[in-house]
Amino acid sequence: MMSKGWRGAAPREAEEGDRPRLSIVVPTLDEAAHLADTLASCRGGSACEVIVADGGSSDATVRISRALADRVVDAPRGRALQMNAGAAVARGDVLLFLHADTHLPAGFDRAVLAALADPRVVGGRFDLSLQPSSPLIRLTAELINLRSRLSRIATGDQALFIRRELFAALGGYRPQPLMEDIELSAAMKRHGRVACLRQRVVSSSRRWRRDGVIRTILLMWTLRFLYFCGVSPQRLRRWYADTR
């Protein structure tokens, strides 16, 4: 089923040679503490544009975004809705969705475009590193990478990327409060190959450290199991505190 949560607006006109090949969309909500470093990591790539889709921040997020991003858009609160709003104004042929507390590796743009040079590849994701780390957090990241590599299903903190034309054909992210990244990953698998890049994005381990690694793992797997059993994302949201 195609989502009705995104409308593929035509990219704005650009001077010849000015159009970026890669558009990075960053959904934000009160992320001033992390955002500057995240946006700085986006500048490690050439021919990229950076779009921040803000869901109503009350801190300095919007001010930081206006200084460091190419474009800032206001969007209804909700990560899926915000990413769809950012994608609607993007000009690139490839969309990369980046969490506000996740840093891209050097050369990320070359890695993405090299993977998509194969016409059978419709999109992909990066390996994940969680920082600050510990032996248990490090093991958790490795297991996430392995599971994702075997299943070709990724989570949003792995910096999902997708060809713009496929994203539009799919209707964008489903407008749901949870598991929108799982849905998009599954849809990508049905339409072609999904690249699992070895380069690592570095994402904050704040949730893992705050709530406990084992408890967080059990929560994540329980939510995913219930979702695959048909429990709605709206009901699952009650057990997950950070679903923006």
The number of domains in the chain is 1
Helix H or strand E segment including 194: strand 193-204
Assess if residue 9 is contained within a domain: no
Assess if residue 113 is contained within a domain: yes
Average of per-residue pLDDT values in the chain = 88
- The token duo for 74 is 């206001």
Q: Spell out the residues 6+ positions from residue 225 whose beta carbon is closer than 8 angstroms to its own.
A: none
CATH number at 180 reads 3.90.550.10
Listing DSSP states for 134-187 in one string gives -HHHHHHHHHHHHHHHHH----GGG--EEEHHHHHHHTSS-S-SS-HHHHHHHH
Assess if residue 203 is contained within a domain: yes
Please tell me the distance from the alpha carbon of residue 41 to that of residue 86, in angstroms, as a whole number.
18
Q: Spell out the residues 6+ positions from residue 68 whose beta carbon is closer than 8 angstroms to its own.
A: 35, 36, 39, 40, 50
Assess if residue 242 is contained within a domain: no
Contact, 49 vs 70, CB < 8 A? yes
Assess if residue 233 is contained within a domain: no
Assess if residue 132 is contained within a domain: yes
Residue 42 lies in domain: 22-210
- Kindly give the confidence (pLDDT) of every residue in the chain, 244 residues in length, as a single tens digit, with 9 standing for 90 and above: 334 445 554 444 444 456 679 999 999 999 999 999 999 999 876 779 999 999 999 999 999 999 999 999 999 999 999 999 999 999 999 999 999 999 999 999 999 999 999 999 999 999 999 999 899 999 999 999 999 999 999 999 999 999 999 999 999 999 988 889 999 999 999 999 999 999 999 999 888 788 888 888 788 778 777 767 777 777 777 766 543 4
Write the pLDDT tens digit of every residue in 144-173.
Answer: 999 999 999 999 999 999 999 999 999 999
Assess if residue 109 is contained within a domain: yes
Assess if residue 215 is contained within a domain: no
